[in-house]
Structure 1
């Protein structure tokens, strides 16, 4: 990424006690505090008081990190949430999240209180290493591209993730309670019949290529396939 800012170096350092006081009564306070026990080196919490609005890409460091944004997270560029191995990290955004494309992986956990709106694609991987992204509101994107091990959730104001929380096409694994995929990523035979050649590698979806293609404003799907899938989902 060009002109990249490091998100988890922003804001100010706070104690866990102050963080607990500022988020008293929040549904995800325990989720945040659990991060202390998931890593060998306890992360230093950071707090951003107010919205983050930029016109460049933002990414996180190697972790572990723990960050709370009391406001929106908005960029006209891309967001990349990632960590090194075994560096479980957490981000809570109490407002909305808006970006061109979003990528999450490693051991990055991201939760948003309000809506997630992405003009391009959301790519998720390494869910078996804690990587996760979700919203208590609705999630809108051109497409969500996940590996079989990774989940995503959208509650739309409900106690748990619900189908009406997703305003997007989902490529992902089967068997998740949080979502039902429009395309089963594990069915490799479907890939060449579903995606454009520019995002394939040896006949399989390559999410790095899909991200690069999305930065041009293009879809990873073959036009007729995308039209059919969107009609089926009611988009």
Structure 2
């Protein structure tokens, strides 16, 4: 199912009348100035609840889902090269596995729950995922250049907002990784062989493994990390 083909086409001017007071309106509105191609925003009223996998096209796209985004399948937010695109979900987001990358920017006003894993890549091209509530997943797997944030209502609650194990880069203000993705020496001892490629975690293999119900972590490592984080 193509998310950016659903709902109705509208204009930024029309959306402004309804969403100008949203905390991320300016961030959403700037989408039209970040690309050379004309961006035609779309509004999905009342949310989306499906059993299908949901994905986005190459973009650029600008979408607001006024409600929840729910699927028992997987979500894939991606774009073509440098096609900066933005999605705001005003409700909850729930899915099996979720991936975001290239120039896809996604923000969720309430909670995000993935029964599997979340994968993020190509933050150098603008990819970001943010949650104003809590973020729950079996694991979040990021490359060293890709951010993710969750604040559960305020900066003081940031550590508690991530109800998951995070594999990612060091030095981000938005999160503290449980596993440093740049530390290759740790990969073989942390992850199961099914998700490794030449000694490194391969997120594509990790997604395939997650779709079969598997965890990217070795059982004893996952148990230790979860206990350390109080999950």
Displacement of 1:164 in angstroms is 1.0
What residue is the counterpart of 2:132 in the other structure?
A: 136
Structure 2: how far apart are the matches of 1:36 and 1:114? 25
Q: Which portions of structure 1, spanning 4 or more consecutive aligned residues, are displaced by more than 3 angstroms?
A: none
Displacement of 1:217 in angstroms is 1.3
Relative to the length of structure 1, the TM-score reads 0.97
What residue is the counterpart of 1:59 in the other structure?
A: 55
Structure 2: how far apart are the matches of 1:87 and 1:164? 33
What residue is the counterpart of 1:113 in the other structure?
A: 109
Question: Secondary structure in 2 aligned to 1:31?
Answer: helix
Structure 1: how far apart are the matches of 2:227 and 2:164? 11
- Map Cα deviations across residues 47-84 of structure 1 (whole Å, 9 max, x no partner): 01111000010000000000000000000000000000
- Equivalent residue pairs, number: 231
Structure 1: how far apart are the matches of 2:161 and 2:70? 20
Q: Report if aligned partners of 1:86, 1:129 keep a CA contact under 8 Å in 2.
A: yes
Question: Secondary structure in 2 aligned to 1:164?
Answer: helix
Give structure 1 stretches of 5+ with no counterpart. none
Matched, 1:181 2:193: no
Structure 2: how far apart are the matches of 1:201 and 1:163? 31
CA RMSD of aligned residues (A): 0.9
What residue is the counterpart of 1:155 in the other structure?
A: 151
What residue is the counterpart of 2:225 in the other structure?
A: 229
Give structure 2 stretches of 5+ with no counterpart. none
Matched, 1:35 2:49: no
Displacement of 1:163 in angstroms is 1.2
Displacement of 1:24 in angstroms is 2.6
What residue is the counterpart of 1:102 in the other structure?
A: 98
